[in-house]
Amino acid sequence: MKRPKITVIGSINIDLVTSTDCFPKQGETIRGNNFQTIPGGKGANQAIAAARLGADVHMIGRVGDDSFGSTLLENFEKEYVNTDHIDRVENTPSGLANIILSEKDNRIIIISGANAHVTPSYIERSKSVIIDSDYVLLQFEIPRETIEYCLQICSEHGIPVIVNPAPAMNLSEKSWEQATFITPNATERKQLFDEEWKEKLIVTRGKEGVSFIENGKEKLIPSHSVDVVDTTGAGDTFNGAFAVALARGLPIEAAVRFANAAAALSVGQLGAQGGMPAKEQVEEILAKG
C-alpha cells in the first residue's frame, strides 16, 4: 500500500516532566516522585504518531541552537520523520514544556523559544513539500499569522488540512473556513465555537470518547477502556492517526474509530510519545471491539 504523505507544521518542544502524588496548591512546595526530560511539542508529537502508523512524514518547524535542539533532531531521525525542513535558530533556546503529572492528568506550561520563529517567511521555503502532501496538520503553538498563511497555501492548492486548535486561540473567519477538519478537545470547543463550523468539528472528549456530526446529529464514539499511565499527547496521537486514516481514504467515522483506538493505546506509557502505537497495534484493539 502507498504510504500517505503527511506534513506537520508546528511546535517542537523538550518536555520537563515531573510526576507527583497530587498537584501543589498555590504557595505550596511538595515532593515529586520522578523527573524526566523527553521530546514533545504538539507538532512533533503528531508527526511521530503519523510516522509510527506508517506515513511518510515531513516536519516543518524550528529548534534552538542548544543541546535540547540536538536531542530533538536526533529523535526525529530515530522515528523516520524527515527533518529537511527543520532548522536551528541561533542564540535561541528550543521550545520547552513544563509538565506536572498527577491524578491521571497533567498541567502544562509552554515556553515558545524557537517555535516563535516559525514565521510565514520561514514557511515560504517549504511550500513545495506542503503542496505535495496528502494531508497537512496544524496546531496552535506557532504564531497565528503562520497558521493562517499555511491555511491559505493549502486552500489555494486544494490540500486538506486538519487544524488542532490547541492551545485555544481564535483565527479569522476565513481561516476556519479553509480548514477541512477542526479537532478541539471539549474545553477548546467551548472556548472557541458556538454553533459555527460544527459540521467540521471532531471533538476529543478524553475518557468519554470522540464526537462528530453525522446527518445533522452529534455521534459519540466511546473510548476504549485502558490503564492510564500518562494522558499527555493523547490528543496529538489522535490527530496524527486521524490524518493517516483519512489520507488512506477511510470515511470519517472509520477514521475517527482508528484515531480513537490509537489515542487509547498512547496513554499506557509515560511521555507524550512513549505509548504511540504502530498500525498493527491499533488494528488489534479495533478487532477486539
Residues with a known catalytic role = 236
Residues in contact with ligand RIB, shown as a per-residue x/- string from 141 to 170 under the rule CB under 6 A: x-----------------------------
**In whole angstroms, what is the distance from residue 100 CA to residue 96 CA?**
13
- Which residues, 6+ apart, have CB-to-CB distance to 53 below 8 Å? 240, 241, 244, 262, 277, 278, 279, 282
Four-residue CA torsion sign, 111, 96, 98, 202: positive
Binding of ligand RIB at residue 40 (CB under 6 A)? yes
Binding of ligand RIB at residue 45 (CB under 6 A)? yes
**In whole angstroms, what is the distance from residue 271 CA to residue 236 CA?**
12
Three cell numbers, residue 200 = 467540521
Helices and strands (H, E) in the chain, number of each type: 10, 13
Binding of ligand RIB at residue 260 (CB under 6 A)? no
User: Of 98 and 119, which has the nearer Cβ to ligand RIB?
Assistant: 98
Cβ 51 to ligand RIB, closest distance in Å?
16
Binding of ligand RIB at residue 266 (CB under 6 A)? no
Binding of ligand RIB at residue 230 (CB under 6 A)? no
> Strands 202-204 and 217-221: what pairing?
unpaired
User: Which residue's CB atom is positioned nearest to ligand RIB?
Assistant: 40
Binding of ligand RIB at residue 233 (CB under 6 A)? yes
Q: Which of 4, 42, 151, 263 binds ligand RIB (CB under 6 A)?
A: 42
The answer to whether 146 touches 139, Cβ cutoff 8 Å, is no
Q: Which of 100, 110, 138, 192 binds ligand RIB (CB under 6 A)?
A: 110
Binding of ligand RIB at residue 15 (CB under 6 A)? yes
